[in-house]
Structure 1
Amino acid sequence: MTSRFDGIGMTSMRTRARMVERLRERGIRDEELLAVMGSLPRHLFVDEALASRAYEDMSLPLGFGQTISSPYTVARMTEALRGGRALAKVLEVGTGCGYQTAVLAHLAKEVYSVERIGALLKRARAAFRDLRLYNVRLKHGDGQHGIPEAAPFDGIIVTAAMTHVPRALTEQLSVGGRMVLPLGTQEQVLHLIERTESGIRESALESVKFVPLIPGVVS
Structure 2
Amino acid sequence: MDEASIQVDMIEGLEHQLGEPLGASVLTALQRVPRDAFVDDAPHANGASEDAGTRVLAPETVVRLITALDVDEGDDVLVVGAGVGYSVAMLAEIAGARHVHAVDIDREAVSIARSNLSTAGYDAALVDRRDGANGLPEYAPYDRILIEAAVLEPPRALGTQLADDGRIVYPRGTTTQTIVAIEPDDDRASPLDADGDDDAPPGFVTVEKAGPAALRPMLVDGEQAGVERNRTRREEAEYAEQGRFAGHGWEQEWIDWDDRI
TM-score range, shorter chain: 0.7 to 0.9
C-alpha separation between the residues in 1 aligned to 2:79 and 2:173? 19
Letter paired with 1:60: S
The residue aligned with 1:40 is 33
| 1:56 shift after superposition | 1.8
Partner of 1:107, secondary structure, is: helix
Partner of 2:83, secondary structure, is: coil
2:94 paired with 1:107: yes
| 1:178 shift after superposition | 1.0
C-alpha separation between the residues in 2 aligned to 1:164 and 1:149? 22
The residue aligned with 2:212 is 207
Matches within 5 A, 1:1-219: 9=1, 12-25=3-16, 26=18, 27-46=20-39, 48=40, 50=41, 53-64=42-53, 66-82=54-70, 85-109=72-96, 110-198=99-187, 199-203=203-207, 204-216=209-221
Aligned residues of 1:175 and 1:197 also touching (Cα < 8 A)? no
Structure showing the higher strand proportion among its residues: 1
C-alpha separation between the residues in 2 aligned to 1:114 and 1:92? 6
| 1:165 shift after superposition | 2.1
Unaligned runs of 5+ in 1: 1-8
Partner of 1:72, secondary structure, is: helix
TM-score by length of 1: 0.86
The answer to which of 73-82 and 126-135 deviates more is 126-135
State the Cα deviation string for residues 7-28 of structure 1 (Å, max 9, x = none): xx4x701100111112222224
C-alpha separation between the residues in 1 aligned to 2:127 and 2:154? 22
Q: Percent identity?
A: 28
What count of residue pairs does the alignment treat as equivalent? 204
Letter paired with 1:206: G
Unaligned runs of 5+ in 2: 188-202, 227-261
Runs of 4+ in structure 1 deviating by more than 6 angstroms, as ranges, are none
Aligned residues of 1:28 and 1:76 also touching (Cα < 8 A)? no
Aligned residues of 1:157 and 1:179 also touching (Cα < 8 A)? yes
Higher Rg: 2
Aligned residues of 1:28 and 1:75 also touching (Cα < 8 A)? no
C-alpha separation between the residues in 1 aligned to 2:160 and 2:206? 15
Partner of 1:102, secondary structure, is: helix
Partner of 1:157, secondary structure, is: strand
Which fold has the larger relative contact order, with Cα–Cα distance below 8 Å and residues 6 or more apart in sequence? 1
TM-score by length of 2: 0.73
